[in-house]
């Protein structure tokens, strides 16, 4: 990787999701040199794992394609995948990043023909589907993966499968001798766009995510609804594969809760409202969605979306945070218990499937990587470091939807560009 040239006028973007890609493209389009680092084998992040996104219910492939075109067309962007930042040192205008480059075991010759995947027999859980399906251990991360290159999972090394993969490749692309290496990158400014991860639903003990098959998270429901997902878009129960026509959505699962995440994760209300449209799309009038909520926070200008969903006769709203969930062992049905706030009626409602609208937490603990960054009580990066050149973007900075993540990325680019310009002036 000696061909990576980074100077004090380079902007390094950490994280290749929607925020990081936006930041990289926009910084490069202002004429700055950008290095985009992504920890996983391909760009796209969590937005790429959505079936559709609100409010227009378009597919993420579309936005992904536009961003990839801009990215590929720009010579100022250098993309490094499987690159993990372990340390950021220095100050505005003079940063040093320690980056570990993990081996892909597949080089640039790869044409994504898929012969290696066919040759191997070992299977691993597919992280793109949140582990709900398995895939061959020589794989393309997703259909929209960029770069379009296969990955050999490290678990194959030393097994006969590894040899089979290498022998199957007509282009000599499989290189099993690749080693992890650590490099140091210089940067004038750093845009930190490492995004979010879903809150660990198993920690919400009364909801039994770890005990009941038919309690799943909103991100898993997203994969379940996607025709490219583990079930080909069939909304079925994990326990018995039966169609889940009667779906419950529990809002604030882990958010707005001092025992879990203190903050409101902002997107979950809109996400569940959106997911009720998946149920309607799949089952028509036979579907039934029930949203259990404290209060619906349709952020931004999305109140009309909420009203549209309210007008759907198959969607019911229950103003109540569910107290606990039990399972009917004979049928696998989940039973939600609680008391509603509109009349204080006690309910024990039976559903085929329960979707927990889990909250967002920062994906990376920035304090352990770059010490002098200001974070809020939930670990999101805050503005406020007086002389800093490290800027949070997207969900590393706050719980945001796609729209606001992109705005946040643009804002961080404007700040980073100013830092780099200052450096250029001082040197010039």
Partner 1 sequence: MGDINTAMTEQYRNNFLKEVEANVEEGQWVKMCMQCGVCSGSCPLGPAWEHPPQEIFMMIRAGRRDEVLKSESMWMCTSCYNCIVRCPRELPITHIMHGLANYAHRLGLAPKMNPTRRFAKMFWNNLTKSGRVNEIELSVGLYFMDGFKTGIARAWAMKDIGIGMLKTGRLNPFGFVTHKGCKDKKGIHKMLKKAREIEDRRKGFAA
Instruction: Please name the helix (run of DSSP H) or strand (run of DSSP E) that holds residue 85, with its range, or none.
Output: strand 83-91
- Range 53-74 burial, b when 16+ CB lie within 10 A, else e: bbbeeeebeebbeebbebbeee
* Phi, psi values for residue 296, rounded to 5°: -80, 120
Tokens for 144, please give them. Answer: 């929209």
Residue 109 is classified by DSSP as T
User: What is the number of residues in the chain?
Assistant: 428
For residues 206 and 241, which CB has a smaller minimum distance to partner 1 in the complex? 206
Neighbour tally for 137: CB within 10 Å: 22
Q: State how far the Cα of 361 lies from the Cα of 321, in Å rounded to an integer.
A: 20
For residues 176 and 294, which CB has a smaller minimum distance to partner 1 in the complex? 294
CA-based end-to-end distance of the chain:
29
Shortest Å distance, C-beta 323 to partner 1: 3
For residues 224 and 250, which CB has a smaller minimum distance to partner 1 in the complex? 250
Q: Map tokens 């931004």 to a residue.
A: 300
DSSP-assigned letters across all residues of 324-383: EEEE-TTT--EEEEEE-SSS--EEEEEESEEEEEEPEEESS-GGGTSTT--B-TTS-B-S
Instruction: Please name the helix (run of DSSP H) or strand (run of DSSP E) that holds residue 248, with its range, or none.
Output: strand 246-253
Q: State how far the Cα of 116 lies from the Cα of 224, in Å rounded to an integer.
A: 27
Instruction: Name the 3-class secondary structure at 366.
Output: helix
Which residue ranges make up the site for partner 1 (CB under 8 A)?
Answer: 206, 252, 256-259, 294, 320-324, 337-341, 344, 346
Shortest Å distance, C-beta 347 to partner 1: 9
Shortest Å distance, C-beta 249 to partner 1: 15
Shortest Å distance, C-beta 341 to partner 1: 5
Shortest Å distance, C-beta 257 to partner 1: 4
For residues 323 and 414, which CB has a smaller minimum distance to partner 1 in the complex? 323
Shortest Å distance, C-beta 263 to partner 1: 12
Shortest Å distance, C-beta 337 to partner 1: 6
For residues 150 and 292, which CB has a smaller minimum distance to partner 1 in the complex? 292
Rounded to 5°, the CA angle 203-208-211 comes to 110
Q: State how far the Cα of 398 lies from the Cα of 403, in Å rounded to an integer.
A: 13
Handedness of CA 185, 189, 193, 194 (dihedral sign): positive
Q: State how far the Cα of 303 lies from the Cα of 280, in Å rounded to an integer.
A: 19
Instruction: Please name the helix (run of DSSP H) or strand (run of DSSP E) that holds residue 60, with its range, or none.
Output: helix 60-73
Shortest Å distance, C-beta 407 to partner 1: 28
> Is residue 416 within 8 Å of 14, Cβ to Cβ?
no
For residues 339 and 414, which CB has a smaller minimum distance to partner 1 in the complex? 339
Strand-pair category, 34-37 with 11-14: parallel
Instruction: Please name the helix (run of DSSP H) or strand (run of DSSP E) that holds residue 319, with its range, or none.
Output: strand 315-319
The closest alpha carbon to 235, from 271, 197, 288, belongs to: 288
Shortest Å distance, C-beta 218 to partner 1: 18
Q: State how far the Cα of 182 lies from the Cα of 236, in Å rounded to an integer.
A: 44
For residues 259 and 330, which CB has a smaller minimum distance to partner 1 in the complex? 259
For residues 238 and 338, which CB has a smaller minimum distance to partner 1 in the complex? 338
For residues 211 and 346, which CB has a smaller minimum distance to partner 1 in the complex? 346
For residues 321 and 351, which CB has a smaller minimum distance to partner 1 in the complex? 321
Shortest Å distance, C-beta 72 to partner 1: 46
* Phi, psi values for residue 129, rounded to 5°: -100, 25
Shortest Å distance, C-beta 336 to partner 1: 9
For residues 16 and 254, which CB has a smaller minimum distance to partner 1 in the complex? 254
């Amino acid at each position: 990787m000696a061909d990576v040239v980074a100077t004090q006028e380079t902007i390094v973007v950490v994280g290749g999701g929607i925020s990081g890609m936006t930041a990289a493209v926009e910084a490069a389009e202002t004429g700055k040199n950008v290095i985009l680092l992504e920890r996983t084998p391909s760009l796209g992040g969590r937005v790429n794992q959505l079936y559709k996104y609100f409010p227009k219910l378009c597919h993420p492939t579309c936005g992904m394609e536009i961003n990839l075109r801009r990215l590929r067309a720009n010579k100022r962007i250098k993309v490094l995948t499987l690159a993990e930042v372990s340390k950021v040192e220095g100050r505005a205008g003079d940063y040093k990043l320690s980056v570990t480059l993990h081996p892909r075991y597949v080089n640039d010759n790869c044409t994504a023909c898929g012969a290696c995947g066919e040759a191997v027999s070992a299977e691993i859980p597919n992280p793109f589907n949140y582990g709900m399906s398995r895939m061959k251990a020589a794989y393309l991360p997703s259909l929209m993966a960029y770069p379009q290159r296969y990955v050999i999972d490290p678990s194959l090394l030393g097994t006969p499968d590894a040899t089979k993969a290498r022998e199957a490749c007509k282009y000599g692309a499989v290189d099993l001798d690749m080693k992890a290496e650590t490099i140091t990158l210089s940067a004038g400014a750093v845009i930190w766009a490492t995004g979010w991860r879903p809150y660990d639903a198993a920690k919400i003990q009364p909801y039994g995510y770890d005990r009941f098959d038919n309690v799943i998270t909103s991100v898993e429901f997203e994969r379940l609804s996607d025709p490219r997902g583990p079930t080909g878009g069939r909304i079925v129960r994990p326990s018995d594969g039966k169609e889940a026509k009667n779906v419950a959505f529990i809002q604030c699962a882990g958010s707005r809760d001092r025992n879990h995440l203190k903050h409101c994760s902002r997107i979950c209300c809109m996400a569940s409202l959106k997911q009720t449209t998946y149920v309607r799309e799949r089952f028509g009038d036979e579907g039934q969605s029930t949203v259990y909520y404290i209060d619906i926070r349709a952020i931004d200008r999305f109140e009309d979306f909420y009203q549209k969903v309210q007008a759907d006769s198959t969607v019911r709203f229950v103003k109540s945070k569910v107290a606990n969930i039990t399972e009917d062992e004979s049928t696998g049905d989940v039973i939600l218990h609680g008391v509603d706030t509109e009349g204080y009626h006690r309910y024990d409602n039976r559903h085929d499937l329960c979707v927990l609208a889990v909250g967002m937490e920062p994906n990376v603990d920035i304090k352990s990587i770059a010490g002098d960054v200001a974070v809020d009580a939930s670990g999101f990066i805050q503005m406020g470091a007086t002389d800093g050149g490290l800027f949070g973007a997207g969900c590393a900075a706050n719980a945001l939807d796609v729209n606001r993540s992109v705005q946040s990325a643009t804002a961080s680019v404007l700040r980073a560009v100013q830092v780099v310009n200052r450096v250029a002036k001082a040197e010039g």
